[in-house]
Amino acid sequence: MAYMFIFGCFLLLGVASSLAARTGYRGRVCDRSDGYEVPAAVRSDPVLRQRANSLVAFWCTGAAALSFAPLVPIGSVILGDGGQSVSTWGLVVFALHGLAVVVIGAYPFEKIKHLGDPSRP
C-alpha cells in the first residue's frame, strides 16, 4: 500500500513539474492567465521575461525528470508479487528525494521574484 502512495506522489510531482516546464517553453510564465506571480518589472522587460521563461523551463524540466525517475523501480515492485514492504530507510530516501524535487521545482519561481530587484545581483 505504501508503494502505491509513493508512486502517486511522484507521479503527481512529475505531472505538475511537466506542466510548469511546458509553460516556460511556451513563453507564458509572465501571463496572468497561467497564475504565476511575476513582478511588474519582469513582466514589462522583454529580456527579464525571456529569462523568467528559460528559468522555469530548465528547472522544472529537471524536477520532472527527477520525479519520473523513481517511478520505474516503484512500478516494478507494484507489478511484481507485492510481497515486499518499504523499510524506514527506504521511506527516508523517498522523502529526501521528494524534498529535493520540490526545492528544484520551486527555485525558478523564487528567483523570478528577485529578477527585477536592482539591489540583488
pLDDT by residue, tens only, the chain of 121 residues: 778 888 999 999 999 999 999 999 999 998 878 768 888 888 889 999 999 999 999 999 999 999 999 998 888 888 877 667 777 888 899 899 999 999 999 999 999 988 877 666 5
- Residue 10 and residue 73: Cα distance in Å, rounded? 12
d(CA 53, CA 12): 22
| Residue appearing with cell numbers 511537466 | 18
C-alpha cell at 73: 523501480
Q: What is the pLDDT of residue 121?
A: 58
| pLDDT for the residue numbered 78 | 81
Whole-number pLDDT of residue 49? 92
Long-range contact set of residues 32-40: C-beta below 8 Å, sequence gap at least 24: 36/109, 36/112, 37/109, 37/113, 38/112, 39/112, 39/113, 39/115, 39/116, 39/117, 40/116
SS (H, E, C) the chain: CHHHHHHHHHHHHHHHHHHHHHHHHHCCCCCHHHCCCCCHHHHHCHHHHHHHHHHHHHHHHHHHHHHHCCHHHHHHHHHCCCCCCCCHHHHHHHHHHHHHHHHHHHHHHHHHHCCCCCCCC
pLDDT of residue 118: 66
